[in-house]
Structure 1
């Protein structure tokens, strides 16, 4: 199994990644609290369409190391940079889902765009999650505190139901099955408890609005108008307003995890963007 060893920082970590196909490289960055496996439907399609697809597990999740500390976005972007250098990738498209959008933007802030040609933000937390006086459409701090409190007192119990909101799950409805929920629960529950908490603090508490100016490559933004996790008005809509060169698609009726529920539509948007 391929691992990248990153010895920079306080603790040495091993980052697990998969590298499939040939062609222009596309790096898929997963959301919280899952792993690279959440990109299953996109990996197959992109590889079959002639792209080199690299998908990795964020530190603390999946098969990657589970260090105690350092889950801030600068550290996470550092792992991404080490992966790009390790594989000597150029002309890269970075694709971040949900929390993964933070690595996309922070990477460009810290390391520039010399190796990056495009970016995509899918149901992304960019630029800000929390409700503030100047961000009235964000998630109220009380709700964010309740999530963090539940993770600290009953992490597994919280995760058991959390992904229902990922999909706007309704029993018996088409598109998402109990098996999907069981799979997500298995992946999320085996992640590092501390990583789950600390990375939640990162996505809930980081304001990327000052960094949007650093996203200077063509960027695809895709969000669902029925996203119960990251409302599109605080995320996709503001990202489209702050990133100069962007294409914004708001998918009607799509929940947060539209990469599964609206996979065909998302894949078409990604392919059209990558081939442009």
Structure 2
């Protein structure tokens, strides 16, 4: 992988494959650019420039103690796009990466980005609040962060089936091989424990309803109905309601890991969106 250094001295690792319209793929909170095993190669083979990177705290990038808030993550993304001088790009925000992408557009505008895809995104607001009664209680965040601190490997192992198969799935219903599932989740252990807990805090506590509503570019929303990482009714529906002109694709009975369990479908939908063709 190639590297760049942000203004605060953090080294980020990235890959830049292919030629054509740039597509920037951001990762979930716990994974890094390796999660794009299928989409990155496919999009580059189809005549697009596919850019993936490991955000700070994960994968092959530096793991500083701080900087896991959306402002810093968005500025890191801006540093990458400026470094590569991309134009007319399609920005794909996956899970926490959705919030990261929305904050990037809020802080840095659309000079470099022409379209946004929100896939299994945690937007617009996950935490319970008086004006967000369907949100998740703060105690749940504390349970998750405590489990990560206590036994991160064990917590990830216990999350395997719902992450890939959904809350009602059996071990035989992952939708992919157990080998692939285990490998993908093992890459999460390359993240620092500090990054793991603080990224969850960011995605859980940040209210982005106003930022989402202010988006002024074509948006594609893709979400699975069996997603427990970013629940469909808490995340996908409210995000779509704030963006009435967005294209909204529902993957029926799909869980959070669409990049693996619905790899071909997701690859094709992202390709069509990047080519300005009908999706779905």
Partner of 1:227: 227
Give the distance between the partners of 1:97 and 1:173, measured in 2 at CA. Answer: 23
Give the distance between the partners of 1:39 and 1:123, measured in 2 at CA. Answer: 14
Give the distance between the partners of 1:42 and 1:86, measured in 2 at CA. Answer: 23
> Alignment partner for residue 90 of structure 2, among 70, 89, 93?
93
Give the distance between the partners of 2:275 and 2:192, measured in 1 at CA. Answer: 37
Partner of 1:264: 264
Partner of 2:59: 62
Shift of the alpha carbon at 1:174? 6.0
Give the distance between the partners of 1:224 and 1:136, measured in 2 at CA. Answer: 22
Partner of 2:47: 50
Give the distance between the partners of 1:259 and 1:131, measured in 2 at CA. Answer: 28
Give the distance between the partners of 2:100 and 2:252, measured in 1 at CA. Answer: 26
Are 1:163 and 2:163 an aligned pair? no
The answer to whether the 8 A contact 1:216-1:245 is kept is no
Partner of 1:130: 127
Paired positions, count: 273
Partner of 2:178: 178
Which stretches in structure 2 are left out of the alignment for 5+ residues? none
TM-score (normalizing by structure 1):
0.94
1:96-154 Cα offsets, whole Å, 9 max, x none, are 11110011100011111111100000000011122333323333333222101111222
Moved more, 67-76 or 175-184: 175-184
Give the distance between the partners of 1:214 and 1:19, measured in 2 at CA. Answer: 30
Give the distance between the partners of 2:146 and 2:211, measured in 1 at CA. Answer: 29
Partner of 1:193: 193
Cα 1:133–1:180 shift into 2, 3 Å: farther
Runs of 4+ in 1 over 3 A off after TM superposition: none
* 1:3 aligned counterpart, secondary structure: strand
* 1:31 aligned counterpart, secondary structure: coil
Partner of 1:217: 217
Moved more, 239-248 or 113-122: 239-248
Moved more, 124-133 or 91-100: 124-133
Partner of 1:121: 118
The answer to whether the 8 A contact 2:125-2:207 is kept is yes
Which stretches in structure 1 are left out of the alignment for 5+ residues? none
Moved more, 129-138 or 55-64: 129-138
1:206-254 Cα offsets, whole Å, 9 max, x none, are 1110111332110100001111221111111111111253100111111
Shift of the alpha carbon at 1:158? 1.2
TM-score (normalizing by structure 2):
0.93
The answer to whether the 8 A contact 1:105-1:214 is kept is no
Moved more, 211-220 or 177-186: 177-186
